[in-house]
Structure formats: C-alpha cells, structure tokens
Structure 1
Amino acid sequence: MQKTLIIIALVLVSTCAALAQQAKRPNIIFLLTDDHRWDALGAMGNKIIQTPHLDALAKRGILFRNAHVTTAICMVSRASLLSGQYMSRHGINDFGTDFKPEALAQTYPALLKKAGYKIGFIGKFGIGVKNQPDTLFDYWAAKKEGQPQYVLVNASGHTIHHTDSVGKDIAQFLDRFAGNEAPFCLSVSFKAPHELDGNPPQYPVQERFKTLYEDVKIPEPLTAAPQYWDSLPAFFRTDQNIGRDRWKPLLSTPELRQQTTREYYRLISGVDEVVGNVVAQLKNLKIDQNTLIIFMGDNGFSLGEHGLEGKWFGFGESIRVPLIISGGALPKSFQGKSSSQLALNIDIAPTILSFAGIPVPSAIQGYDLLAAEQKKRSARKDFLYEHTYLGSPRLPKVEGVVSGDLKYMLYTEHGYEELYDTAKDPHETVNLAKRSSKKPTLEKLRKRYEELKKEVK
C-alpha cells in the first residue's frame, strides 16, 4: 500500500511539473529597424554587409525570404505592425494621427498586457507625437517626437548614439523584468538605418564603425542607370518628387552612391552589434530558451535604383524587408528553416498573439506565420499595396497587387499602370502594362485589385 502511494505521489509530482512547464508562457522580443531593405543582410545573400548576429539568428530560426510591407512609410507600417491591419482599416495615414483608445486596446502590446504580460517599448514609436501611449507600457524609453536624433545627450551631458542608447535601455529592461513570474513582451524600434533628415540628409554612425567597408567597392545597381529614371512617366519624373530630391545629394554620382551605401551598411552593423548583446544577455539571465525573437524592417529603401532614394513607391527595394523569427522558444522543427511564403507586416501581431496563446481579434487582417509554416492554414497568394500619403508631385499616390511572380501598380491620381513579371524580371526593368499580349494578365490583376480594395476595409 505504501509503495503504491509513493508511486502515485511521484506521478502527481511529475504531472504537476509538466503542467507548470506548459503554463510557462514565452517571453517575446520584437526588434524593428527603420528603412531596412530586404537584401541588406548577410543571411539574404549580401556578401558585403557584416551582420553576423542577425545571420546567426536566421540560422537558428526561420528566415523569411519573401517578406513585404503593405505600405512603405514608417507611421503607416508601424500602425500595421501593432494592429495587424492594413492602412485602409486602421486609418493612420499621416504623422500626427494617434491610435484611438479603443484601437490601441486591440494592439498586440495591449492584448498581451491584458493577458498578464509585462510590456515595454524602446526607441522610435513613430505614430503620432503628443499622445503616444507611454502610460500603457510597464517600461517606456522613447521620446515623444516624430523622428529622433542620432546623437543624444543624457542627463549628465554625455553624448550617445541612438543605437547605443537603445542597446542600454534593452539591457536595463531585461535586468528588470527577466525571471519575474509574469512573462514579458519588449518591442524595440531602432532609428537605424534611417537617414538623419536635413539639407543634405546625413547618416551619422558611431565612431567605431566609421572605417567599416571603407575599402569595399559597392556594386552599381542595375536600375541606377539613367535610362530607368528616364523611362518613368512625366508626372513622376520631376525634381519635386521626394525620392528624386533626396537622390541628388546622396546617390547622384557613383562616388556619392558608394559613400551613402557604406554609411547605410554601417548603421545596420551597429544594430547587429546590439542584437548580439541581447542574445548574450538572454543566455546570461538563463531565459534564452523561453524567449522568442522577431526581427523585421518597417519598410525597404532604394539606394539609387530607378534613380531614387527612399521608399514609398511599389518597387521591390521599397516594399521588401528582412524578417527573421528565432529564439530558444521557437520549436526545434522551425530552426534552420528558409521560408518563401509571402509574409507581411500585418502578420506580426497575430503571430505574436498566437505564440503567446492569446485569441486573435477578428479585426486583425494578418495571420499567424508559424501556422502557415506548419500548413495549418493556407499561405496567401497576393496582397494589396497602398500608399496614399501626400500625393503628387512630392509623393504620387500608388496602389496595387503584389503576388509571388507578378506586380501590378496603379498611380491613382494619374491612371498610370505598371505591370512587372517579377519572376523573370526581378529588378522591374520592363513595364508590360501596354503590351497587347499581356492584356489578359492586366485585366485579371485589375479585377483582383478591386477585390482586395474592398476586402481590406
């Protein structure tokens, strides 16, 4: 009898331990870079840029090779990241609009907090200015401003680079919240590698990175050749276009293009250094095996392609971004995986919520990327791209449909169409919209565009 009771007790202890382990919810860290194009990452095949820590994350997790944003401008994309919604639904389309309280309550940080998570935000919030939601977070390290400076001055009068400041705040957050009974979700937004706006714009880098890439020759982009700018329509091909205006002081000669690209890469290498420190601190705190890390860019960036600097438009350099899901909390079956699924910024919120075991609100339009990887749901075949901020001539409004092998873009103010076969023409060198042989394809994508426009509202 006594022996039987001992066995039962051991079974109960084992069961309780297993249940406790299951109940231990994962910590989540979401890392966001600003203006980070898809191919500015070693893991994506760039043989010049040095991003060893991000590359290591990719090797230990899922590298999404076909990640995009639904709108390539910071405030809209960030609102989509937090809400899981297209701009057409969340309605944030300028630099002054905030989340309304009821909309903020449905963002992934607010839903995680309601479920018992400790939540933190560090860096550039990028949505609104006056009413940024600092009181929502248990830890807030962000100035209420639209675009932070790179060189910051602390309370004691010492200067620090924004990337290094973000790194210090991450370390402080982890020391404070690691090991607590409640799990945490930390959202981090670097300013890097965004330019420092000005006339001319600049790329201030930390002193220790200033000679990095100095002796490296940056290849000329194919579409940097003048013929590609010259082939664009007259309403677009104007010096008032912001993309062209910023191209002049930064990319208009081969020498400028070399220097600007080096500075851009240096800022990304600075972010990579912080990522390495974060991974090391997670291990030291012994929470690395229960932490999920997601890394993404808020939009892409043209470094001279099509005669442009910046994002906004529908070209691949503008809308494609790096995306990695990694960390010890990720199931081993996902580790070392390369995914070709069409992943979007609106997928981040539902992926985070699902991983934390929290129901995804019906208003969210993205989906759980991990569920798609497991074939538990179908991966998307296309998506709507929309950019309606400002308008011509500074930023001509553009909308369209992006699929795995085709791209349709409509400049809505001018009725001008673009059609690219991105499978055969990945650099988008030939606009097929006026070719009679492509009329059936064009008609099909026009129809799909109208369908998606209705669906996303």
Structure 2
Amino acid sequence: MLYAKKYIPLVILLTILLTGTSGKQPEPQKARKQPNIIFIFSDDHAYQAIGAYGNKIAQTPNIDRIAREGALFKNAFITNSICGPSRAILLTGKYSHVNGFTRNEARFDTTQFVFPELLQQNGYQTAWIGKLHLKNVPRGLDYWNLLPGQGHYYNPSFINTNDDTTIVKGYVTDIITRTSINWLQERDADKPFFLVVGQKATHREWLPAIEDLGAYDHINFPLPDNFYDDYKGREAAAKQDMTIDKTMLLNSDLKIHADYTKMRDYNRLEGEQKKLFYDYYENKISKEFDEKKLTGKALTEWKYQRYMKDYLATANSLDRNIGRLLQYLDETGLAENTIVIYASDQGFYMGEHGWFDKRFMYEQSLRTAFMMRYPGVIKPGTVINDFTLGQDWSATLLDAAGIKVPAEVQGVSVMPLVKGKKSPGWRKQVYYHYYEFPEPHHVYPHFGLRTEQYKLIRFYGGIDSWELYDLKNDPDEMKNIYALKKNTMLVSQLKSSLKNLMVQYKDTAALRIAGFR
C-alpha cells in the first residue's frame, strides 16, 4: 500500500500529460473492419482506350474516377494474355501451367485452392456475377449468376446458383450491374462481402447498347505509328491471323450487310431496338460503305475507323454502369470501407501492328488496366510504376482482409506499394507463357522475360525462334535485335534470368523447350 501511494502523483501527472487537463483517458484506437471488396473485371478492354492511361477521346470518367481516388498501376501485366486463363490466374494466384488452365478450351479444376474460399471461411459473403468463362464454377462462392460461355450482348441468358437458366431482357452490361446491386441489397449486412462483377464488354464483335450506337461517329481516329507493320525479322508476327486488314470481317465484326438471319445477337433483340439496330448498321453504315467503293489501304483504314467506333461505343456502357455502381456505394455509405478494383482480363490491340485481339507478349496485350480504390488506406492519385501481375491480385485481397496468404500462391500482395512503403526487393522482371495454338488467331505459343528495358521472347510449336527488343529505344517493338553480335552478352544474361524465373515458377515444360535442362 505504501508503494502504491508513493507513485500516485506520478501516475496522475502522466495521465494529465497524455490526455490534457480534462484527465479523460484516451479512447482505444478501433481496429479497421475487414473491407468489402468489389472486383470489376471487364473483357478485352485495352488500357490505351482509357482516359486514366492517357486516351483523350474515350469517354471513361467513372473508370478514371477509381484511378483518381485510388491507385493507378502503370505496369500491371497478365502472364497468359487470354480470357479464361486470366480469370483462373485471378482465382488461384498461380501461373497457368500450375493451375492447369492454359487455354480457353480447358475446364477449370475445382479441386484446387481458390482465394474466395479462404475469404468465405473468414466470414465473407462471396459472389460472382456475369462472365466467368471457365466451364466449371469454382468453390468458395455463395452466389453466382453467370453468362454461359461468352454470353450475349442483347437479352442474354444467365445460369444462377440453383442451376436455373433464364433469359433476361435488356443489355448485358446493364443487367450484370443491376444484378450486382440487387445482390448487394439482399446480402447479410452484418458480414463483409466479396463480389466479382464480370462484364462481357468489350469482347468481339463489339455490339454497343442501342443508346450508344454512333457515339463516336464524329471522330476520325489517328492510325497507330506501326499500323502498317511489315513484321520484318519477326516470323511469328508475320504468320498470325489477327489483322484488321485480312482477319476482321466486314459482315460480322463490322456489321456491313450482315446476314441478319444468322446474327445471333441481332435476333435476340425485339421491337424498336431491333429496328434501331438495323437502321444504324444497314441503312446508315452499310450505305456509307457502298457509296465509298473502297479498296486497298483506304478499305483497311475505313475498317479500322469502324472498329474503333464500335469498340469505344461498347465501352461507353461499361463506364456508365461503373458509375451506377459507385453511386450506389456512395448513397449507401458502403464506399468508405469498400475496396473497388477495376481491371481488364488482359490487354488488347487497338490497331498497333495492324492488329486487334491479344495473345502476343508484345506490350499492348501483355499490359492490362488495373486500378484500386481503398478510402483511408490508399492516398488518392497514387501511381504505381512497379511491375505487378495478375497473380498478385488474390494475395493483395487476402492481405487487405487480414488473411494469411497461402505459400502456394505465386503472387505477392501489393498493399505495401499502395501504402507508399518502399519495397527494394520488389520484382524487376516479368515471366510470360502463352499456349493456345493454332486456333483462333494462329499465334504461336511462346514464353519470355520482360525487364524495365528489354523483352526476350522464345516462340515454339512450329516456329523455333528468339526475339529481343530494347523497349527504351524501340517502344513499338519493331526491331528484333536478338541476332546482333553486340548483344551476345546481353542475350546470355537475359536467358540466365529467364531460366531462373522458370525454375522459380516451376515451369518445367518451358525449361525443356528452351533447352535449359
């Protein structure tokens, strides 16, 4: 008792110093709740078609808002640039050769680890709405309402958790957003949630919402600098089948004198919408095409203009619906503790090299759109230039939710980056491996390495060739400098790095193909 009395004045003094003259005890800091998570996943939406990435023409104010109020990732890469494999990478945090989903025609192995299941086990409600494209529904989802395969733009069918198939009237982007908001309204409000909003837009054949037809018809889009690429010194690039000139079809892709009896999406339209669609493409655009009587380069460039106009018009509804979802979060107060991510499943060619589609390790399909908003955690206007991968997405969301990332996940959390913490050990190299051949675009399988300055690619499966690009001096990837004698030492160093990544990521097949073992 004497001991206690002796130190009472000191205790009182410390209390006053810490709390002020009122003598009140400071309230303990409240632990941040597990964040809600919304992952908006679009299809084939090119980063270079987004305002936040520098496009001055595309109307993407709501996507740009996510970047402005959060973090914009300038070097986000997909390691197998194609729809299904990209989604499998998101779910598993693993490379395609590890999760087994290397090609679109594969069937997802539902016995393997998927991160939504771990969220579910830690109190999250989980849902996936829209496009999944894996032929199997992974574990870990409380609710799903999915497009069969690629789905349709107009009056699409959906398969739900009860295995019921329903045709829903309307435009697919509107429906997916409306269904997502309905799920948010009906969920258990006492639990955090994880929701994937899997949009179909902007997948081929680029069918805009009726209200967006002609939205960019007043624009004359500048041709990319390498639109007339001759593919010199790049055999695989020369033998692909994805050019705007030869591969893009007038009647189906661009809707010029389409065979309307066989046009599945058109025949799903009804009444006034069908009339408006027909009037626009047949009575306006097809008539314009007939009057011009185009051939040669003039025809190719006209096709490019039509491609860009339909593609960006299709993206208009994507952005508009993201705005609706953000507005719902604002109005309900959910925005404060909800992580919102916008990402595309991979990059896409907007005429670069004369192409549309993706697949190649060249920059426009390797790099993808990725941005993340987390109020109170990510400082608005943050820009991340570090190399990040699709494999990092699952690790990041588990980390943000306070859940330990399993050792089998091959990605790492980007949370330290978005919090502004220095990461001197962060990756300086990216490993890529693409498999799907020969259909549908005759892009030879290949793997490779990207560093800050260089890109080394090895094609195989019929064309056994190496390519090397100096991205600093040749950002358009037009000059294959692999065979230059002055680069012998550089090639050796890059091959050594490539081998190390193959070993790190356990790509034994690639090691064998490359002759590294």
TM-score by length of structure 1 reads 0.87
- Structure 1 equivalent of residue 150 of structure 2: 147
- Structure 1 equivalent of residue 478 of structure 2: 429
Residues 231 and 217 (structure 1), Cα distance of their counterparts in 2 relative to 1, 3 Å cut: farther
Q: Identify unmatched segments of 5+ residues in structure 1.
A: 196-201
Aligned-partner Cα distance in 1 for 2:424–2:324: 35
- Secondary structure (helix, strand or coil) at the match of 2:155 reads strand
Q: Identify the match of residue 137 of structure 2 among 109, 132, 136.
A: 132
Q: Identify the match of residue 87 of structure 1 among 90, 96, 111.
A: 96
- Work out whether 1:61 is the aligned partner of 2:70: yes
Q: Identify the match of residue 467 of structure 2 among 418, 426, 443.
A: 418
Q: What is the correspondence of 1:218-233 to structure 2 with a 5 Å cutoff? A: 218-225=221-228, 227-229=229-231, 231-233=233-235
CA contact (8 A) 2:75 2:384 kept: yes
Shift in Å at residue 438 of structure 1?
1.7
Aligned-partner Cα distance in 1 for 2:354–2:214: 27
- Secondary structure (helix, strand or coil) at the match of 1:293 reads strand
- Structure 1 equivalent of residue 181 of structure 2: 171
Shift in Å at residue 378 of structure 1?
2.6
- Secondary structure (helix, strand or coil) at the match of 2:371 reads strand
Amino acid at match of 1:346: Q
Q: Identify the match of residue 397 of structure 1 among 445, 451, 454.
A: 445
Aligned-partner Cα distance in 1 for 2:498–2:166: 55
Aligned-partner Cα distance in 2 for 1:345–1:157: 32
Amino acid at match of 1:359: K
Once the two structures are superposed, residues 282-304 of structure 1 have per-residue CA deviations (whole angstroms, 9 ceiling, x without a partner) of 11111110101111111111132
- Structure 2 equivalent of residue 356 of structure 1: 401
The count of aligned residue pairs is 429
Percent of matched pairs sharing the same residue? 28
Q: What is the correspondence of 1:182-331 to structure 2 with a 5 Å cutoff? A: 182-195=191-204, 202-225=205-228, 227-229=229-231, 231-233=233-235, 236-238=237-239, 241-242=241-242, 246-247=247-248, 249=250, 253-328=300-375, 330-331=376-377
Aligned-partner Cα distance in 1 for 2:92–2:131: 17
Once the two structures are superposed, residues 374-402 of structure 1 have per-residue CA deviations (whole angstroms, 9 ceiling, x without a partner) of 22563210111100122488231111001
Shift in Å at residue 445 of structure 1?
1.3
Residues 390 and 379 (structure 1), Cα distance of their counterparts in 2 relative to 1, 3 Å cut: same
Amino acid at match of 1:26: P
Aligned-partner Cα distance in 1 for 2:238–2:47: 25
Residues 115 and 289 (structure 1), Cα distance of their counterparts in 2 relative to 1, 3 Å cut: same
Aligned-partner Cα distance in 2 for 1:181–1:342: 36
- Secondary structure (helix, strand or coil) at the match of 1:261 reads helix
- Structure 2 equivalent of residue 448 of structure 1: 497
- Work out whether 1:409 is the aligned partner of 2:418: no
- Work out whether 1:111 is the aligned partner of 2:118: yes
- Work out whether 1:438 is the aligned partner of 2:484: no
Aligned-partner Cα distance in 2 for 1:158–1:146: 16
Structure of higher CA gyration radius: 2
Residues 370 and 432 (structure 1), Cα distance of their counterparts in 2 relative to 1, 3 Å cut: same
CA contact (8 A) 2:233 2:479 kept: no
Shift in Å at residue 248 of structure 1?
5.7
TM-score by length of structure 2 reads 0.78
Shift in Å at residue 98 of structure 1?
3.6
CA contact (8 A) 2:62 2:319 kept: yes
Aligned-partner Cα distance in 2 for 1:101–1:46: 39
Aligned-partner Cα distance in 2 for 1:61–1:439: 43
Amino acid at match of 1:177: R
Aligned-partner Cα distance in 1 for 2:495–2:305: 39
Amino acid at match of 2:52: A
Q: What is the correspondence of 1:361-380 to structure 2 with a 5 Å cutoff? A: 361-373=406-418, 374-376=421-423, 378-380=425-427
CA contact (8 A) 1:247 1:304 kept: no
Shift in Å at residue 452 of structure 1?
1.2
Once the two structures are superposed, residues 167-190 of structure 1 have per-residue CA deviations (whole angstroms, 9 ceiling, x without a partner) of 111111221227x11100101111
Residues 294 and 194 (structure 1), Cα distance of their counterparts in 2 relative to 1, 3 Å cut: same
Once the two structures are superposed, residues 71-116 of structure 1 have per-residue CA deviations (whole angstroms, 9 ceiling, x without a partner) of 101111111111111112112123343443441xx22211100111
Aligned-partner Cα distance in 2 for 1:364–1:41: 30
Aligned-partner Cα distance in 2 for 1:74–1:153: 19
Amino acid at match of 1:209: D
Aligned-partner Cα distance in 2 for 1:236–1:295: 30
- Structure 2 equivalent of residue 199 of structure 1: none
- Structure 1 equivalent of residue 387 of structure 2: 342
- Secondary structure (helix, strand or coil) at the match of 2:201 reads coil
Shift in Å at residue 231 of structure 1?
4.9
Aligned-partner Cα distance in 1 for 2:380–2:56: 23
CA contact (8 A) 1:69 1:345 kept: yes
- Work out whether 1:97 is the aligned partner of 2:106: yes
Aligned-partner Cα distance in 2 for 1:267–1:107: 31
CA contact (8 A) 1:247 1:307 kept: no
Aligned-partner Cα distance in 1 for 2:100–2:129: 24
Residues 316 and 156 (structure 1), Cα distance of their counterparts in 2 relative to 1, 3 Å cut: closer
Residues 297 and 85 (structure 1), Cα distance of their counterparts in 2 relative to 1, 3 Å cut: same
Shift in Å at residue 67 of structure 1?
1.1
Residues 323 and 236 (structure 1), Cα distance of their counterparts in 2 relative to 1, 3 Å cut: closer
Once the two structures are superposed, residues 198-219 of structure 1 have per-residue CA deviations (whole angstroms, 9 ceiling, x without a partner) of xxxx211101111211111111
Aligned-partner Cα distance in 2 for 1:422–1:248: 32
Q: Identify unmatched segments of 5+ residues in structure 2.
A: 1-11, 13-18, 158-164, 255-298, 507-517
Aligned-partner Cα distance in 2 for 1:390–1:157: 33
Shift in Å at residue 158 of structure 1?
6.4
Aligned-partner Cα distance in 1 for 2:168–2:191: 35
Amino acid at match of 1:426: P
- Secondary structure (helix, strand or coil) at the match of 2:173 reads helix
